Homo-oligomer: A and B are copies of this chain.
Amino acid sequence: MVTPRSILKSHKLRITDCRLDIIQEFLDRQVALAHSDLEEKLQNQFDRVTIYRTLNTFLEQDIIHKVLDDSGATKYALCSFEDDHEHDHEHVHFKCEICGETTCLDEVHLPPIKLPQGYKKRDMSLLVLGTCPKCG
């Protein structure tokens, strides 16, 4: 079972309240979160800087990844730990233009893409913009 604690332990990171709370937040809401979302949620519990540093630590450790966003804001989401076998490097996200939420569509898989001569692919991210079920 995946818990904030187990995630930190498996990455050999110290267990602190801020880290636990941030991971918990990602687990609870299955959407991509920006620094500002976390700051708002964990209001006054942790310093703004600590949240930045925590996010950067998690990025380095591949606990979270950046989610592309058209608005300019940097958003993050948990890397999926289910299919951990080889970190599948394929991200499909949906951003609702009404509520602004970005969700990971883990169940959607990208068909193979043919790239022009000479290009070598290592990772792919698809961002779909539109209307989500809640807002539709």
Give the B-binding residues of A (Cβ under 8 A): 66, 68-70, 72, 74, 92, 94, 97, 105, 107-108, 110-111, 113-133, 136
Contacts and interface: CB of A to CB of B under 8 A. Distances in A.
Nearest to A114: B108
A118 to B, nearest CB: 3
A3 B119 CA distance: 29
A88 B92 CA distance: 20
A115 B125 contact: no
A125 B94 contact: no
Contact of A113 (B72, B121, B126): B126
Contact of A116 (B105, B111, B125): B105
Given A108-B114, A111-B111, A118-B133, 19 more contacts: A68-B68, A68-B125, A70-B125, A72-B74, A97-B122, A105-B116, A107-B116, A108-B113, A108-B116, A113-B126, A118-B132, A119-B130, A120-B130, A122-B129, A122-B131, A124-B126, A125-B129, A126-B126, A127-B127
